[in-house]
A and B are shown apart, each in its own frame.
Chain A
Amino acid sequence: MGHARLVAAGDGVTMRAPISDLPMVLEDVSLRRGAAAILDRISLTITPGPPTLLIGPNGSGKTSLLRLCMGLVTPTGGRISWGGRSDPAPTRRAFVFQRPVMLRRTAAANVTYALAQAGAPHAQRTGRAAALLERVGLADLAHRPARLLSGGEQQRLALARALARDPELLLLDEPTANLDPAATRAVEEIVTSAAQSGIKIVMASHDLGQVRRLAGEVVFLARGTLCERARASEFLDHPATPEAQAFLRGDLVI
């Protein structure tokens, strides 16, 4: 905060150093596998603000869009830039997968590993890892092997690892899809507090209740196209497109 800013012609605000990943700008981004279009000409600008929830039926391209946003896949068409840079190396963004992979070490070692990769000085890692585990409510399990944690605990550990990167942009791919309500609540609380601390959340969800609880705005995808983007309450109460209306009614949108 408080760094020199510079307004670029046309597409909003560009931050000057230190390196920032926001705004993230997708211009006409497409992703094709053979003849099939997984994502079709999506344009989307993500700036700091309340959480953006990515919703849509299964197979609508939510996961693919998030992976593109993280730079894990390269679009077959269009351009993505992060803070004005098109280099996909994740500097200030982090990803939480639907099924996170736990490194075969203790919970604490998983976090110190993420801290090391994010360039945290060696002397600070242990202290910061303890603080992060505290933040996700895993302080008691710090020395437990990560792969022996429950699904909900693993997902919270994945969040701690993601937060270790000190992200400006946190991408989450249905992190609560396999969790029970209590574990879901724990994850949602962490996400909410991250959002309140100024981290931009972009999260895929298939759970409309979760959208109601978390979303500032909604991006609705169907068949690989961006159908609608609106404030959450507006979208839930007055969806504009027929696809969104059908989705909210509970119809199968094919």
Chain B
Amino acid sequence: MPDHLSALQLILSGDPALLAIVRLSLGVSLAAVALASAIGMPLGALLALTHFRGRAVLVVLLNAMMGLPPVVVGLALYLLLSRAGPLGELGILFTPTAMVIAQTVLIVPIIAALTRQTVEDLWVEYHDELRAMNVGALGRMTTLLWDARFSLLTALLAGFGRAAAEVGAVMIVGGNIAGFTRTMTTTVALETSKGNLPLAMGVGAILIVIVLAINAAAWGTRVWSQRVTG
């Protein structure tokens, strides 16, 4: 099985081009997770704690947006960021920045929707106690987000998994430029279509191992935290 062997060799030899691709992929996806958390978590908590007309519609919409097709998000951003588009002057199309934005758009709904559910469940438990302590609206949000911190890890993981695995959005707004905007997923797509299966398989394997390692670390954190904080 020479294909397998060469994939393994690529990994073991620490090919610099391959390492750059891995680094960019992780950098883009982690930045997107950070950005999407900063937006999605307060948004989800706000939605969990407020009542207004049309809230149910918004919740359903948000849940549905968890399934946004990456290529559609990529296309929409492409139209916004292209030279002729309304944000064309920024000149960020085909840069890692555009890729971070695309993945952020993609996973904000995931993080917000999962946060809303988690915070809403915890609010049922905390409701009376926080009201008896006269905790204001902002305090309720921050308290519930903080006390749900280990459950919210799951939301982060879901977001990261989605960001790291998608290919459509980064392909369209990043342009898959070698050494600049080429990620693991776009590499797999490109190398497969070129027939260079060893490299495609090697990169695919690395992607899976990384996702596995991050999930294992998060799972460990959660188990540990439950033992430590109850």
Contacts and interface: CB of A to CB of B under 8 A. Distances in A.
A89 interface: yes
Contact of A161 (B133, B143, B146, B230): B133
A104 B128 CA distance: 16
B125 A101 contact: yes
Contacts of B147: 103-105
A135 interface: no
B229 A145 contact: yes
A95 B146 CA distance: 23
A145 B134 contact: no
B126 interface: yes
Chain B, interface size: which category? 10 to 19
A114 interface: yes
A100 to B, nearest CB: 7
A103 B129 CA distance: 9
Nearest to B151: A104
B19 interface: no
12 contacts: A70-B132, A72-B128, A90-B132, A95-B132, A97-B129, A103-B126, A105-B229, A113-B143, A145-B228, A145-B229, A146-B230, A147-B229
Contacts, number: 52
A89 B134 contact: yes
B139 interface: yes
Given A103-B147, A117-B139, A94 B132 contact: yes
Contacts of B135: 117
B143 A103 contact: yes
Interface in B153-170: none
A89 to B, nearest CB: 6
**Which 4 pairs from chain A and chain B are nearest by CB?**
A147-B230, A95-B132, A101-B129, A148-B230
B53 interface: no
Of the listed residues A67, A101, A105, A118, the one surrounded by the most CB atoms of chain B closer than 10 A to its CB is: A101
A72 B127 CA distance: 10
Interface string B153-194: 000000000000000000000000000000000000000000
A163 B139 CA distance: 20
A123 B135 CA distance: 20
Contacts of B133: 113-114, 117-118, 161, 165
A118 B134 contact: yes
Interface string A198-209: 000000000000
B51 interface: no
A108 to B, nearest CB: 14
A67 B132 CA distance: 10
A72 B129 contact: no
A64 B73 CA distance: 51
A72 B131 contact: yes
Contacts of B128: 67, 72, 95, 97, 101
Given A101-B126, A113-B133, A117-B134, 15 more contacts: A90-B131, A94-B132, A95-B128, A97-B129, A97-B132, A101-B129, A104-B147, A117-B133, A117-B135, A117-B139, A146-B230, A147-B229, A147-B230, A148-B230, A161-B133
A94 B128 CA distance: 12
A146 B228 CA distance: 10
